[in-house]
Amino acid sequence: MNANDNGVCWSCSQTAGGEPLCAHCGALQPPPRDYFAILGVTPRLDLDLTDLQKRFYDLSRRLHPDVQQRKSAREKQYSLEASAVLNDAWRTLGDPVSRAEYVLRQNGFEIGDTRSRDVPAEWLEEVFEMNMAIEELDGGDAAARGQLELAGKRFAALREETDRELAEQFRRWDSTGNRETLEEIRGLLNRRRYIRNLVRDVEKALAG
């Protein structure tokens, strides 16, 4: 469904103007499947969320099936497609991590399991100690609690640091567009996922 490519409106055969609705006759055009395209932004990783949300709401008001209810069957079908893609796009691009994963997938990367090199070696000792502390706490050693709380704080700090690094790499990719940066970003995402699991385990141990 990419009739938009030639920019000619299916309804009035005039130039549609590349907008969701034909600039000439107002007929709803076949929607793009690309998340950046449907939101009308150039593909970037460093996005202004306020602007993105405003676009999402404005486009919803124009594309939603409720608004297109009294149109032709064809436009109603486009409206359904367009709204689905728009909602998927906002859900995906509105979150930095899923946004990066989307861009990685678009560039042929597989989003998969953490590889050992994504986790710095100096963390391993820390993780080992954390596991010990969890065991001790489970065994009834209340002293381990303080140790775990400390570990939790350190992991949270690591997560923040990873987020900062990610933001930096996002900007780098936006300006260079090179593949090595994406490779770097994939590593950071895996690392972030790993830290998230650590934080979760610590919280669970402290709550239990």
Partner 1 sequence: MGTLEIDFGDSAKGRVVGIDLGTTNSLVAYMGVTSPEVIPGEDGARLTPSVVSYGASGEMVVGNRARLALLTHPQRTVYSIKRLMGRGLADIGEELKLFPFRIAAGSESVLRLELGERSFTPPEISAFVLRQMKKNAEAHLGEPVRKAVITVPAYFNDAQRQATKDAGRIAGLEVLRLVNEPTAAALAYGLDKRKDGIVAVYDLGGGTFDISILKLHDGIFEVLATHGDTHLGGDDIDNLLLEIGLEDIAGEWGEDIRGNHEAVQRLRRAVIEAKERLSTAPAARIDLEHGHQHYRREIGRERFEKLITPIVERTLGPCRACLGDAGVAVEEIDEVVLVGGSTRIPLVRAAVERLFRARPHTELNPEEVVALGAAVQAGILSGEVRDQLLLDVTPLSLGIETMGGLVSKIIHRNSTIPASATETFTTAVEGQTNVLIHVVQGERELVKDCRSLARFDLKGIDPMPAGMARIEVRFLIDANGILNVSARESRTGKEQGVEVKPSYGLTEEQVEGMILESFQRAEEDFEARQAREARLEADTILSAVERARQNDAWFDLSEEEQRAIVVSINELLVAYHSEDHRLIRALIDKLNTQTMKLAETMMNTAVRTALKGTKV
Residue-wise DSSP of 81-114: HHHHHHHHHHHHHTSHHHHHHHHHHHTT----PP
CA distance 167 to 149: 27
- Ranges within 22-41 binding partner 1 (CB under 8 A): none
Q: How many CA atoms lie within 13 A of 207 on its CB side?
A: 6
Nearer to partner 1, 97 or 150 (CB): 97
Nearer to partner 1, 38 or 185 (CB): 38
CA distance 130 to 151: 7
Nearer to partner 1, 61 or 164 (CB): 61
Nearer to partner 1, 51 or 141 (CB): 51
Applying CB under 8 A, among 45, 47, 59, 85 the residue interacting with partner 1 is: 85
CB of 99 to partner 1, least distance (A): 16
CB of 21 to partner 1, least distance (A): 16
Question: What letter would DSSP give residue 12?
Answer: T
Which residue in 3, 63, 58, 59 sits closest to 30, CA to CA? 3
Nearer to partner 1, 84 or 199 (CB): 84
* Contact flag: residue 174 with partner 1 (CB under 8 A): no
# binding residues, partner 1 (CB under 8 A): 22
At what angle are helices 179-207 and 143-176 packed, to 10 degrees? 160
Applying CB under 8 A, among 41, 52, 88, 159 the residue interacting with partner 1 is: 88
CA distance 192 to 66: 40
Q: Which two tokens stand for residue 41?
A: 């932004």
- Ranges within 42-71 binding partner 1 (CB under 8 A): 57, 60-61, 64-67, 69-70
Site residues, partner 1 (CB under 8 A): 57, 60-61, 64-67, 69-70, 72-73, 76-77, 80-81, 83-85, 87-88, 90-91
